[in-house]
Amino acid sequence: MTPEDRKFLKFLWSGGDINEDHRITRLPFGCKTSPFISSSVIKYHITKFEADRPDSVSMLNSGLYVDDLYFGADTVREAFELSSDDYIGKWWF
């Protein structure tokens, strides 16, 4: 989130006699655009690996929705290879 936009995302913390004004500095959960922004950032970074792992990147681009991944394969072996890809293991935590 850019510093000039942070003034628009704030919350008030009320703790007894003290009220504190806090600004959000990261992508907040619950904003209308958060799912789109999150997906766009993930897809941007996925494309960096297209030359090395075209099948995995294609699967991620077509099967990723926000933070959920769904995919299928023609064979059990192909599904196992895609799900066991080292790159995918590094991306998902």
Tokens standing for residue 16:
């007894």
CA proximity to 39, closest of 49, 27, 51, 48: 27
Residue-by-residue pLDDT tens, the chain, 93 positions: 677 877 787 888 887 788 888 887 777 777 888 888 888 888 888 888 888 888 888 888 888 877 788 888 899 998 888 777 766 666 654
pTM, rounded to two decimals: 0.54
CA dist 15 → 12, 18, 19, 25 (Å): 10, 5, 6, 21
pLDDT in tens, 26-51: 777 778 888 888 888 888 888 888 88
| Tokens found for residue 69 | 């991944």
| Run of H or E including 18 | strand 18-23
